[in-house]
Structure 1
Amino acid sequence: MGTNHHDLTRRRLLASGATVSAATIAGCIGGNGEGNGNGNGNGNGADDGNGGAGDGQATLEFTQELERDEDFDPIHSNDAYSTQVFKLVFDGLYTWDEGLGLEPQLAVDMPDVERDGTRYLYEIHDGVEFHNGEEMTAEDVAHSFMAFQEEESVNEAQYDMIDSAEVVDDYQVQVDLDHPFGPWELQTMAIYVVPASERETEEDREEFNTNPIGSGPFVWSDFAHNEYVTLERNDDYWGEPMPNLEEITFVDNVDPASRISEIRAGDTDAIADVPNDDFDDLEAEDGVDVHISESPSYMHLTFNCRDDAPTGDADVRRGICHAFSMTDFVESRLENVADPLSAPIPPITNEQWEFPLDDWHEEYYPDYDPDQAQELLDGAVDDDWSPRILAPGDHRGDLAERIVTRLHELGYDGAEAVTLEFGPLLDQTVYNEDPSPDDFQAYLLGWTGGPDPDAYLYNLYHESQEGINQAHFYEGSADFHDNIAAARESADFDERYDLYEDVMIEMLEELPSLPAYSFRNTMASRDYVQDMQAHPMTQQNPRIVSGYSNVSIE
């Protein structure tokens, strides 16, 4: 669930995340559940007079892999799939480059930093207009920073270090933090800027959530709840480049086989999430292009660590983890679309940190050892032990079935894999503040973070996030939660590195959560769709227009 993620959806709300803050920082990642979306929507598909039919109109239909939560206000949304839509309506103070680096968008440059890393001064471009014709000023930027706290957003924890955001003049903002915050310049300051005048009352904000007004390259055009969203090009856009596309419609289709059939038949222009089993065939398909990128996604098997749950015993958790092979599952089931993990951060995040993940995998990561699993579980659980492992109905549901099959082989016939739609799954796990062992003993979810470990370790494992982004109830060592908090309140890289190293090694030893795999971002498009590229951040796909790409219809 930033997005948690983790794309977290905003049913209680994260997610995750990211997941996510709505600023595409973190969020809970949902799965391909049993939703009712059929991917048809009301947009212009390739057979409806799109560029694929040869009439030259620059319109595109994009089929998402999960139903949106239909939350389009960046302050409150924590759903990656709603973010994929509204990121085109809003501009960010900063935006992502081709990878996980930030570059100025509404900001003129990187900020001036004062007061030992607790004061940031931002200058924004003048002459930027919102879609309602009002000029964007520093007041809107200050409002966008403070609204997370003032409106008690589900994303508040990602911004609660902000003490104040003050207007210096029409185009300068001063942001003061309560303490240094390590992830600030890496990702937190990449907020979407919303117009303060459109969000003054709760009634205004309710209207804004499904009729958003930004300053971005596309304008909200048409919307049918749980069916489609259509955006039109903002021909008065202040920035560069101007989008090539005149219109884009987002629909969804949660059935992977149906999505693949649609893109093959030309019934949609582009789809998200190419299943592993279809990847090679679709790559070889005439008329179809496949796009893939590494991502900061983090799939995890997380345990109910409460004292009244059998999985509150670390040996039971270890026994489950030794009962199956995560490596074999990833290599046999997800070889084209995922990378196995060794720690609770994905490899792309570790590029800037260089933790010794390979060494940790060899020393700490539980390998497949059914004899050791049996030894650990014997006496620790009853013979009629019946653990429930909850998961979305996608690859994580397949993994839950794999784990349960291995537990059956050890004689625990009551073990059960339960797949649920994303909302009910979050209600029974992440938002369940007092779960019983019968509710679940483990769950499988995902989170999209970014370039800083804080996005994962704080949101998913700090005690303050119980009932918000996680439900493992892991007490940990005396320093576990303090170290997570201390690392986010420091701007010293070496100090943060040491704190995170202790936290992650403890997690691998005690296993409140088993890192599973990092899911790559995949898309497919008809070959008349030009310059479509997969971005590492799930929430940024499809990257319709940016400094390095500009999608068009041939």
Structure 2
Amino acid sequence: MRRLTDERSRITRRQAIASGAAVSTSLFLAGCADDAEEDLPDDDDDTPDVEGQLNITQQVAPIEWDPVVANDAYSGQIYHTIYDGLYEYDVQTVDPQPKIAADTPEIERDGERFIIPLREEPEFHDGTPVTAEDVIHSFTAPVEEQTDNMPDFDMIEDAEAIDDHTVQFDLEFPYGAFETVTLATYIVNAEARQDDPEAFNLENPIGSGPYQFDQAEIGEFADVTLWEDYWDEPSQIPSIRWEPAEDDAGRVSRMLARETDVMEGIPPADWESIEAEDGISIEDTADTGVFYLAFNCQEGPTADPDVRRAVAYCHSTSAFVDDVIGEAGQNINYPVGPTIAEEWDFPVDEWNDMEYEFDPDRAQELLDNSDAIEEGDEIRFISPPDDLREQWCELVVDRLNEIGYGGRVDRLDWDTFTDTYQSGDADEFNVYSLGWTGGGDPDVYLYQLFHESQAGVNQGHFYESDEFHEKIVQARESVDMDERRELYIEVIEEILEEVVWIPGWNTLSAIAYDEDRVENVLPDTSTTTTPRMDLPDAALR
């Protein structure tokens, strides 16, 4: 979840093509889209507004446009309109369907070979056809360039273009999530990207999706425009503008004042008041994400599992979730999304019963008996710029202070936060709070957030246990669901027993929208594609 520097410049897509000038998309944005007001239809006009612009307010600013390197949910909200996937999930499901692919894959060699036919119709925004070489580049570049997305692709041993419209992937092992997760990858224009990867990421992304990148102004907005020559059934919305408002109150006030058409990131405390507002509706669906506290298990006081247990005893996570999240989410004491846990028939009731209850006496006893910490020592928590996660950290610190052990919470900007937790440096942090969008398979959570290969990348706990990591790999390299399930149960139980994490909650994926302006715009199962803007029924009133 990288964040770029906050330089200020403005460039349109046409200017970028003409001059090669740069636009940074570190969009820590907080503006509004008053220019679109001239195009608003009369209230009684129910036809789609062909001249109109949909305005979306985001919870966090996006940072880049290239799916090969991008690893944050809020950039994905924009680039999912620019690119088509080889396969794409049906709305509000984790069921992948062919998109650029012409059919389901032919699977050979006991799950180690996938042969995929491609449609002939798809074209990129520059008019060039989508070919097997573009698909191969989209799947191999994350490994060749060692991007944060490498774990989704590093099982690919060989990728071959059988012809312009047939791709063959040979895997090092039969990766159980290849069909459900890896094949749902966005396809980039290989030639354009290889000519100048940085410009492709920050200035002129070229996909084959329903929208083209138009313009962006750092700290203000990002615009896309409907591609008139889209090869598939297009959306009915001519253009979209995204504007971040990372302050909860600011985001809500924009929605209530009708200064935006759609808002994602509904603060739980404001859910009821927004829903009660005439003319504003909330749509929600199950989400695959998880929020958590993770401990520095490598060094410092929290390298002692009893210190970690004491922190867990310092508060009740379930009470915090009930009080603060309410009906907008649910407490979960396991590190995968509830929909995935249900699909895999995981013993979630048993795991929820393992949650630590508030017991300050037991917490103090564990800390008093630990050689890793002395009375008055500080346990340092770091939080990203998010009110809920900061509030969770502050609750635990308050309770630590009450029993004679110090704590502090540092709320950091995303760039500093990411660098800090990836460092594993106990002088900089002992506990961090984060979230993960998840996906359609347990591997997306357990390999990327717990395996040792991801230390300093997607995880900063640096937890060490040879058998633990071997089980994660064994499950990753199996296509036997029963075997994988048993391995994952053992892994998750160790996470809970050793308190590598304190799992927190799963929120509903939700949007608020202006009923007089919007129809058929839906939240999706992931923050990355919420709201889902590639649907042909989506329209402005």
- TM-score by structure 2 length? 0.91
Of 379, 390, 398 in structure 2, the residue corresponding to residue 387 of structure 1 is 379
Partner of 1:550: 537
Check the 8 A contact 2:279/2:515 in 1, yes or no.
yes
Q: Which amino acid aligns with 2:380?
A: R
Deviation, 1:43, is 6.9
Give the whole-Å Cα distance in 2 for the aligned partners of 1:408 and 1:152. Answer: 42
Deviation, 1:339, is 1.0
Matching of residue 138 in structure 1 with residue 132 in structure 2: yes
Q: Determine helix, strand or coil for the equivalent of 1:368.
A: coil
Deviation, 1:10, is 5.9
Pair 479,43 (structure 1): closer, same or farther in 2 beyond 3 Å: farther
Q: Determine helix, strand or coil for the equivalent of 1:479.
A: helix
Partner of 1:179: 173
Q: Determine helix, strand or coil for the equivalent of 2:326.
A: coil
How many residues of Structure 1 are paired with residues of Structure 2 in the alignment? 511
Q: Determine helix, strand or coil for the equivalent of 1:83.
A: helix
Identity over aligned pairs, percent: 37
Give the whole-Å Cα distance in 2 for the aligned partners of 1:52 and 1:286. Answer: 18
Give the whole-Å Cα distance in 2 for the aligned partners of 1:113 and 1:421. Answer: 45
Q: Which amino acid aligns with 1:461?
A: F
Q: Determine helix, strand or coil for the equivalent of 2:343.
A: coil
Matching of residue 121 in structure 1 with residue 115 in structure 2: yes
Name the structure where helix makes up a greater proportion of residues: 2
Give the whole-Å Cα distance in 2 for the aligned partners of 1:94 and 1:345. Answer: 23
Pair 451,204 (structure 1): closer, same or farther in 2 beyond 3 Å: closer
Partner of 2:505: 517
Partner of 1:378: 368
Partner of 1:507: 495
Counterparts of residues 377-416 of structure 1 (less than 5 Å): 377-380=367-370, 381-392=373-384, 393-412=386-405, 414-416=406-408
Pair 37,52 (structure 1): closer, same or farther in 2 beyond 3 Å: farther
Give the whole-Å Cα distance in 2 for the aligned partners of 1:205 and 1:43. Answer: 31
Matching of residue 325 in structure 1 with residue 316 in structure 2: yes
Partner of 2:229: 236
Deviation, 1:54, is 7.5
Matching of residue 465 in structure 1 with residue 454 in structure 2: yes
Partner of 1:81: 74
Of 348, 359, 369 in structure 1, the residue corresponding to residue 339 of structure 2 is 348
Pair 67,208 (structure 1): closer, same or farther in 2 beyond 3 Å: closer
Q: Determine helix, strand or coil for the equivalent of 1:474.
A: coil
1:345-367 CA distances to partner (integer Å, 9 max, x unpaired)? 121111220111112221x2212
Q: Which amino acid aligns with 2:283?
A: H
Partner of 1:450: 439
Give the whole-Å Cα distance in 2 for the aligned partners of 1:236 and 1:182. Answer: 37
Partner of 1:368: 358
Give the whole-Å Cα distance in 2 for the aligned partners of 1:52 and 1:274. Answer: 28
Of 87, 103, 108 in structure 2, the residue corresponding to residue 94 of structure 1 is 87
Q: Determine helix, strand or coil for the equivalent of 1:415.
A: strand
Q: Which amino acid aligns with 1:304?
A: N
Q: Which amino acid aligns with 1:347?
A: P
1:1-37 CA distances to partner (integer Å, 9 max, x unpaired)? xxxxxxx23669xxxxxxxxxxxxxxxxxxxxxx952
Pair 11,225 (structure 1): closer, same or farther in 2 beyond 3 Å: closer
Is there any run of 5+ residues in structure 1 with no aligned partner, and where?
A: 1-7, 13-34
Partner of 2:249: 257
Q: Which amino acid aligns with 1:258?
A: G
Deviation, 1:485, is 1.1
Give the whole-Å Cα distance in 2 for the aligned partners of 1:52 and 1:481. Answer: 60
1:446-499 CA distances to partner (integer Å, 9 max, x unpaired)? 1111121111111111111111111112113x4101111111111111111111
Partner of 2:162: 168
- TM-score by structure 1 length? 0.89
Deviation, 1:107, is 0.9
1:314-372 CA distances to partner (integer Å, 9 max, x unpaired)? 1111111011000000000010222111211121111220111112221x221222222
1:23-64 CA distances to partner (integer Å, 9 max, x unpaired)? xxxxxxxxxxxx952232x5755x343347788333201111
Superposition RMSD in Å: 1.8
Counterparts of residues 307-318 of structure 1 (less than 5 Å): 308-318=299-309
Bigger drift between 157-166 and 414-423 goes to: 414-423
Pair 175,267 (structure 1): closer, same or farther in 2 beyond 3 Å: same
Give the whole-Å Cα distance in 1 for the aligned partners of 2:471 and 2:35. Answer: 51
Partner of 1:225: 218
Give the whole-Å Cα distance in 1 for the aligned partners of 2:211 and 2:28. Answer: 27
Partner of 2:266: 274
Check the 8 A contact 1:43/1:228 in 2, yes or no.
no
Matching of residue 107 in structure 1 with residue 107 in structure 2: no
Give the whole-Å Cα distance in 1 for the aligned partners of 2:100 and 2:314. Answer: 51
Give the whole-Å Cα distance in 2 for the aligned partners of 1:405 and 1:188. Answer: 42
Q: Determine helix, strand or coil for the equivalent of 2:284.
A: strand
Q: Which amino acid aligns with 1:482?
A: E
Give the whole-Å Cα distance in 2 for the aligned partners of 1:539 and 1:86. Answer: 9
Give the whole-Å Cα distance in 1 for the aligned partners of 2:447 and 2:155. Answer: 13
1:366-422 CA distances to partner (integer Å, 9 max, x unpaired)? 12222221221113131112111111232000001111111122122x211221122
Q: Which amino acid aligns with 1:425?
A: F
Check the 8 A contact 1:182/1:490 in 2, yes or no.
yes
Check the 8 A contact 1:58/1:244 in 2, yes or no.
no
Matching of residue 491 in structure 1 with residue 500 in structure 2: no
